[in-house]
Amino acid sequence: MMIRALTSVRASSTDHPFSVLHSPFSILIFAVRASATPRPLTQTVLTRAVRAAYGFVNLATIRYILSLLFRMNELPIGIFDSGVGGLTVYRALHDRLPNERFIYLGDTARVPYGTKSLATVERYALENSSFLASLGIKLLVVACNTASALALPAIREKVGIEVVGVIGPGGRKAVEIVREFGTDARIGVIATEATVASNAYIDAIRRASVEPKVLQAACPLFVPLAEENWIDQPETASIAEKYLAEVKAFTPQALVLGCTHYPILRTVIQRTVGLDVKLIDSGEATADEVAIILAKNGLENAAAPGKARELCDDLDHFYVTDAAERFGRVAERFLGARPQRLEAIEVYGVDELEQRPAR
């Protein structure tokens, strides 16, 4: 595993799209949306779009955008999480989309997000999104439940590419599973305290169907148990029995694993609630929806890589904002492999950047 030295990355928090995003595709999309540009996108059409949107144009940038436009399907998919939990989402995406490459950002310096204010979560999420967009990605997956619950609208407003959270897909998949039960449908949701308090999964389920009854339960100790790989210990089984007692009594037909750490404890959770309860991994549901979005927009990478893909191989790039060695160890527990390309970086906004002494 290679860990590169700490790098400072400026993620602007200003409102101007050129400042927020450095991806040429984001510039393209902002320009086209702003000017209602017709298709096809020739150099002349794109030049007019950018000039109409921003009042100026740089022909070198236009040519660069056009040179890459028809290779957009080859760009990687970006993923960010507040820490290591999003690795289960990465695994689901990797398994579902073997031809794709991925860039993962774990904001390990600022974890957890669940104790932060809405404004702070939004700022962190925008900084993370801007960093990934600056690397050139075709789609962004917000693998953090807290950021998905609180910051998706802000991210979508700033980022000119498709953005997929983990809550909506998980909620919709649960509704699909229980639809046959009609008004007798029952869905359980287990998540962190912050996600439960946000009611984000209830809202997602209600947007898909008003029929299912929904019960939520917070399981905060599942996160450290997963990170320490305490999967088969009797203490884990005892904690699961306590946390899931009310859920078990509710007898749901489907149970949403509403935290990206929880799939690591899937076996003990399934054993506790009963084998007849369908467990919904929000990461797997998200991967299914990402596959549909890529196909719908012609963004699938049809070209298979020149070698057999493996989790954490050198075609995927991992970034963390702190504790890279620990991230590598947890990745090995979660995925069975350490990232071959792991880099420590620092992501911060303009307000913080301007207060730092010159280097």
Q: Of these residues, 259, 265, 273, 320, which one is catalytic? A: 259
Among residues 25, 20, 81, 18, the alpha carbon closest in space to that of 53 is found at: 18
> Could you say which of 3.20.20.70, 3.40.50.1860, 3.40.50.1390, 3.30.390.50 is the CATH number of the domain covering 168-282?
3.40.50.1860
Q: What is the pTM of this model?
A: 0.79
Q: Is 259 a catalytic residue?
A: yes
Say whether 168-282 and 2-11+72-165+285-353 share the same fold.
yes
- Confidence at residue 126, expressed as pLDDT on a 0 to 100 scale: 94
How far is it, in rounded angstroms, from Cα 254 to Cα 241?
Answer: 17
| Strand pairing report for 278-281 and 254-257 | parallel
pLDDT at 28 over 60: no
Distance CA 68, CA 98 (A): 22
- Indicate which residue of 144, 163, 191, 265 is catalytic: 144
The DSSP letter of residue 259 is S
pLDDT band for position 115 (cuts 50, 70, 90): confident
219 is catalytic: no
Q: What is the mean pLDDT of residues 195-224?
A: 94
Q: What's the rounded mean pLDDT across residues 2-17?
A: 41
Asked whether the predicted pLDDT for residue 38 surpasses 50, the reply is no
pLDDT digits (tens, 9 = 90+) for 177-194: 999 999 999 999 999 888
pLDDT value, residue 67: 55
- What is the identity of the amino acid at 63? R
CATH architecture assigned to 2-11+72-165+285-353: 3-Layer(aba) Sandwich (3.40)
Per the structure block, which two tokens stand in for 1?
Answer: 């595993």
pLDDT-derived band at 63 (thresholds 50, 70, 90) equals: low
Residue 308's pLDDT is: 77
Q: What is the mean pLDDT of residues 132-152?
A: 92
Answer yes or no: is pLDDT of 13 > 50: no
The confidence band for 114, taking pLDDT boundaries of 50, 70 and 90, is: confident
pLDDT band at 74 (very low <50, low <70, confident <90, very high): confident
**Domain ranges within the chain, ordered by starting residue:** 2-11+72-165+285-353, 17-69, 168-282
